[in-house]
Amino acid sequence: MRTEAPSLRRMLIPLALAQFICSFAGSNMNVMINDISHDLNTTVEGVQVAITLFLLVMAALMIPGGKLTDRWGRKRCFKLGLSIYAVGALLSAVSPNLAVLILGNSILEGVGTALLIPPVYILTTMLFHDLKSRAQAFGVISGMGGVGAATGPLIGGLITTAISWRVSFLFQAVVVAIIVVLSRSIRDPLPPDPSRPFDIVGAILSATGLVVLVMGILAADKNVAIAVLLLALGASVIGGFFVWVRARESRGMEPLLSTKLFHNRISNLGLVTQNVQWLMLMGTSFVVSAYLQVIRGYNAIQTGVIFTAATLGILASSLVAGRLAKRFQQRALILTGFVTTIAGVAFLLAIVKHSPSAWSFAPGLLLIGLGLGVMLTPSVNMVQSAFPETLQGEISGLSRSVSNLGSCLGTAIAGTILVSGLTTPTKSYALAMIAVAIIGLVGLGATVLLPKQNPAQASLESA
């Protein structure tokens, strides 16, 4: 094991960088709202749609992307996803209007991410066999994901203010090129199986249902009747997807998503915590960024610098995630994370009326960063370790889909509340943050229902 440890560490670097850049892409546009809307002659709402669609495409295609790894191979899907992502980043950099930006950023980068992210988690689970090293590996990857999301506003703000928002997409393309070079060291533990069936109808139903559902949320500030119709239609299509899955299983056919994945109580609750964690991170990021730029008139770099507090919080707690996993139960870490994050949101809610200084947002953002950094790793490890290698393709796709759906819902729900009330900015900001806090309580409730110790944790502590 000692001889292969350096090799495993080399393979972990491109996987962690891939998670970093995809999370970075989900948040860096938040500080470019004014610059993009002015340059492309669009609105704050238009930029919100582009951001939300990127997150939505990822969430909608993550399950099919995870399933395709079995047919095409994990490393092949990883490299194909990187290639598509790079094309999208370059197209976004030269986009003359919002439609082209949506094609490059929301569609192509979203599709690329849906192909490359499931292999990150599948390969990590397969390459790191014992739970101690796996927890440490997931700590690095989850930490890089959190850091990517938190540094997105800072790096994006620096680039946008110093040069142009377009260069931020060139930065993404350069990082992807570096990942491609580093990924040559990755080995796929299992050969691809081209004969493995792929449920096309299931893929269409799951993707369509998620897209329609989120579009219903986005439509809420314009037409309530259309929003309700879309929400009902989306829920119906998702219901139809599960009916289709059960029908395929009853006929002995392999579905897009095995119902076995939903028979594990610990995994189900872990998925809820993942969804809420990313919803809170991305919802807070969009609301605070938009409020500071549109209402208080801060530029990209000023907004990005303020988010340094969240970056430092996530980085600090992520660096000790591996050591914390050895000393404390995963449930205790997630509970602590949610309590700290909700406290941070409450602080952001309390100070908006009482302090004109943007720096007053820093303590709240720091608490949110610390809380998220503590609980991202145990939530991922809890879900991934609940299933054998034969189901890693499906659970990785489901896990990433649920997390990215949380990111998407955070921007859609909190963003829609904020954008719909920009004429009364303080009130709309408060309502958006209240919504984030309430959803955080849902995640806290799911964590309370987790057992105090599960088999994976017991094995980790005895390792």
Give the pTM: 0.76
- CA–CA dist 243, 241 (Å, integer): 5
Burial readout 371-408 (b: 16 or more C-beta within 10 A, e: otherwise): bbbbbbbbbbbbbbbbbeeeebbbbbbbbbbbbbbbbb
- CA–CA dist 53, 105 (Å, integer): 9
Read off the DSSP letter of residue 411.
I
* Sequence-ordered list of residues with C-beta below 8 angstroms from that of 63, at least 6 positions apart, any chain: 203, 206, 256, 257, 394, 397, 398, 401
- CA–CA dist 428, 291 (Å, integer): 10
- Which helix (DSSP H) or strand (DSSP E) does residue 267 occupy? helix 265-290
- CA–CA dist 165, 302 (Å, integer): 14
CB count in 10 Å sphere of residue 193: 11
How many C-alpha atoms does 140 have within 13 Å on its Cβ side? 20
CB count in 10 Å sphere of residue 237: 19
- Which residue type does 354 have? H
pLDDT per residue as tens, the chain (463 positions): 343 466 777 888 999 999 999 888 877 887 888 889 889 998 877 887 888 888 788 878 888 888 888 889 889 999 999 999 999 999 999 999 999 999 999 999 999 999 998 899 888 878 877 666 776 787 788 778 877 877 888 888 889 888 999 999 999 999 999 999 998 888 888 888 888 888 899 999 988 998 898 888 877 767 788 889 999 999 999 999 999 999 999 998 888 888 888 888 888 999 999 999 989 988 888 888 888 887 777 877 777 788 888 878 887 887 776 677 778 888 999 999 999 999 999 998 887 666 667 678 888 999 998 998 888 888 888 887 787 766 766 787 788 778 878 887 887 788 778 777 655 767 888 888 899 999 999 999 999 999 876 544 444 343 3
* Sequence-ordered list of residues with C-beta below 8 angstroms from that of 384, at least 6 positions apart, any chain: 121, 124, 125, 134, 138, 392, 395, 396, 399
Read off the DSSP letter of residue 128.
-
